[in-house]
């Protein structure tokens, strides 16, 4: 502080002013005491000093103006620098958020790739979306589109950490808009969005919604569902969130399609694609697990071996499409008749079918076989506006005290079927 004061006292401007004042004071005293004529010189000196001070003042003003301009320039640069720093900080925050989002997306991709069932995939997708946008204020809804009916169905829905049950099972006006346009939808305020009739929404919707964002789940040009988030608050979802949700929707659509294909392949491995009945391999696997105990306990176990009469000739006469329709018809009758918890029905191969009946006596098995044969005989298949018919032959085998082998029982049912064929078809024969 003392050093600063010394610098101010001994500055060049202070020294010049001090010497001028000292010189002027000395000259003034000399003029008063010795030579009054010196006052003329004093006047000139004062004039000189005045001119000097005026010059000094002008320079000072100019310098101060320059300093003011420089200061304003520095302030402007400081403001620009501050704005750049603020923008950089925003960019850093956005980058951090993006990195976090990408990390979540990476985790989501890994989890979805490990989910093979459709139920697990949709559940995982909904949970991860809730984590990313998580709040008790939003509801996450995942719809899947029924491929045959063309209708939406809720696959999963939750609010916060709680699973929700919604009344709008097939979607509302917003979901139908997404289906129709196959585009993402962002509604900032439902009460002021010109695309939708507020009064109509309030009448048809069971929930109050103020803002929402929704993306279609697309695989190529095919739509398989909708991923939607909605809130009771207006302007809840910023525009950048729709981009993130679209990316999640793309990942989810691929995962859901893969899960659907996986389940379809699994289903084809155990069910016949035409009739929906068990295939022979899976039927025998289940049968191997079930039949041992009833045979040990000497319970009645019956098999019906069924074959369509002259099916090859029917195919040759009417075509394979008609033949497929006949197989479907027979499959429907079998499902309708043998739908008990212990019943097993399979397409054994080609036009052959096999039925397993637990706790079924020989008499009862024959009655059921006759009932089935009669239903097939009486059921027509419409082909080119004409009714066509087909008949069946059935072989029945029921376990006895000596029969403890599944394959032997099936063989007996097959032998009985051969007898029915030999006796003129459209008959039921029982193994001896």
Listed ranges 24-28, 145-149, 307-311; the one with the highest mean pLDDT? 307-311
Mean pLDDT, all residues of the chain:
82
pLDDT greater than 90 at residue 365: yes
pLDDT value of residue 355 = 95
pLDDT value of residue 383 = 79
Report d(CA 205, CA 215) in Å as an integer: 19
Question: Considering only CA atoms, which of 38, 44, 9, 14 is closest in space to residue 26?
Answer: 38
Residue 303 confidence class, pLDDT cut points 50, 70, 90: very high
pLDDT greater than 80 at residue 301: yes
pLDDT value of residue 277 = 92
258 Cβ neighbours under 8 A, 6+ residues apart = 121
Residue 396 corresponds to which tokens in the numbers above?
A: 């029945």
Residue 286 confidence class, pLDDT cut points 50, 70, 90: confident
Report d(CA 69, CA 91) in Å as an integer: 32
pLDDT greater than 50 at residue 119: yes
**CA of residue 127 relative to chain centroid, distance:** 10
Listed ranges 42-46, 151-155, 386-390, 421-425; the one with the highest mean pLDDT? 421-425
Look up tokens 């979802």; give the residue: 237
Residue 7 confidence class, pLDDT cut points 50, 70, 90: very low
**Which tens digits make up the pLDDT trace of 236-266?**
888 888 888 888 888 888 888 888 888 888 7
pLDDT value of residue 311 = 92
| Interval 410-417 mean pLDDT | 93
Residue 390 host element (H or E):
none
Residue 299 confidence class, pLDDT cut points 50, 70, 90: confident
306 Cβ neighbours under 8 A, 6+ residues apart = 330, 334, 352, 353, 354, 355, 372, 392, 393, 394, 395, 417
Q: Of all residues in the chain, what percent carry a pLDDT higher than 70?
A: 81
pLDDT value of residue 118 = 82
pLDDT greater than 70 at residue 39: no
pLDDT greater than 70 at residue 205: no
Q: What is the DSSP letter of 277?
A: P
Residue 421 host element (H or E):
helix 406-422
| Interval 33-46 mean pLDDT | 67
Q: Which residue has the higher pLDDT, 7 or 99?
A: 99
**Which tens digits make up the pLDDT trace of 76-105?**
888 888 888 888 777 667 656 666 666 666
pLDDT greater than 50 at residue 333: yes
Q: Which residue has the higher pLDDT, 330 or 288?
A: 330
Question: Considering only CA atoms, which of 83, 153, 88, 66 is closest in space to residue 118?
Answer: 153
Does the predicted model carry a pTM greater than 0.95?
A: no
Q: What is the DSSP letter of 166?
A: -
| Interval 296-301 mean pLDDT | 73
pLDDT value of residue 8 = 46
Q: Which residue has the higher pLDDT, 48 or 396?
A: 396
pLDDT value of residue 426 = 94
Contact 311, 318 (CB under 8 A): no
Region of residue 248 (left: phi > 0; alpha: psi -120 to 50; beta: else): alpha
pLDDT greater than 50 at residue 188: yes
Report d(CA 111, CA 362) in Å as an integer: 53
Rg (CA), the chain: 47
According to DSSP, the residues that pair with 307 across neighbouring strands are 352, 393
């Amino acid at each position: 502080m003392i050093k600063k004061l010394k610098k101010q006292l001994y500055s060049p401007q202070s020294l010049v002013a001090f010497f001028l004042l000292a010189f002027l004071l000395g000259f003034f005293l000399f003029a008063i005491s010795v030579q009054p004529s010196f006052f003329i010189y004093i006047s000139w000196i004062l004039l000189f000093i005045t001119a000097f001070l005026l010059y000094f003042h002008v320079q000072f003003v100019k310098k101060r103006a320059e300093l003011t301009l420089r200061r304003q320039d520095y302030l402007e640069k400081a403001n620009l620098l501050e704005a750049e720093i603020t923008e950089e900080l925003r960019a850093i925050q956005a980058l951090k958020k993006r990195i976090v989002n990408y990390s979540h997306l990476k985790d989501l991709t890994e989890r979805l790739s490990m989910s093979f069932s459709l139920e697990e995939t949709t559940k995982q997708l909904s949970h991860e979306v809730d984590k990313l946008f998580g709040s008790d204020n939003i509801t996450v809804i995942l719809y899947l589109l029924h491929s045959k009916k063309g209708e939406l169905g809720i696959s999963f829905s939750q609010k916060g950490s709680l699973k929700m049950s919604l009344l709008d099972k097939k979607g509302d006006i917003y979901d139908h808009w997404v289906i129709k346009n196959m585009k993402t939808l962002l509604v900032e305020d439902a009460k002021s969005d010109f695309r939708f009739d507020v009064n109509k929404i309030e009448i048809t919707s069971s929930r109050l919604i103020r803002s929402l964002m929704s993306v279609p789940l697309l695989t190529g040009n095919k739509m398989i569902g909708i991923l939607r988030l909605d809130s009771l608050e207006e302007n809840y979802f910023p525009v950048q969130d729709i981009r993130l949700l679209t990316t999640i929707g793309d990942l989810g659509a691929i995962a859901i399609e893969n899960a659907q294909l996986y389940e379809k392949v699994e289903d084809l491995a155990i069910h016949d694609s035409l009739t929906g009945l068990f295939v022979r391999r899976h039927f025998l696997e289940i049968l191997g697990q079930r039949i041992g105990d009833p045979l040990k306990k000497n319970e009645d176990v019956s098999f019906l071996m069924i074959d369509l009469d002259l099916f090859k000739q029917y195919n040759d006469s009417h075509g394979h499409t008609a033949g497929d329709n006949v197989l479907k018809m027979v499959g429907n009758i079998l499902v309708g008749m043998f739908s008990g918890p212990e019943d097993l029905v399979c397409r054994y191969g080609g036009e052959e079918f096999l039925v397993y009946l637990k706790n079924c006596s020989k008499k009862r098995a024959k009655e059921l076989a006759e009932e089935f044969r009669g239903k097939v005989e009486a059921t027509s298949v419409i082909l080119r506006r004409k009714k066509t018919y087909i008949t069946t032959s059935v072989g029945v085998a029921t376990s006895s005290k000596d029969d403890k082998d599944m394959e032997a029982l099936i063989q007996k049912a097959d032998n009985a079927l051969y007898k029915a064929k030999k006796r003129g078809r459209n008959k039921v024969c029982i193994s001896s």
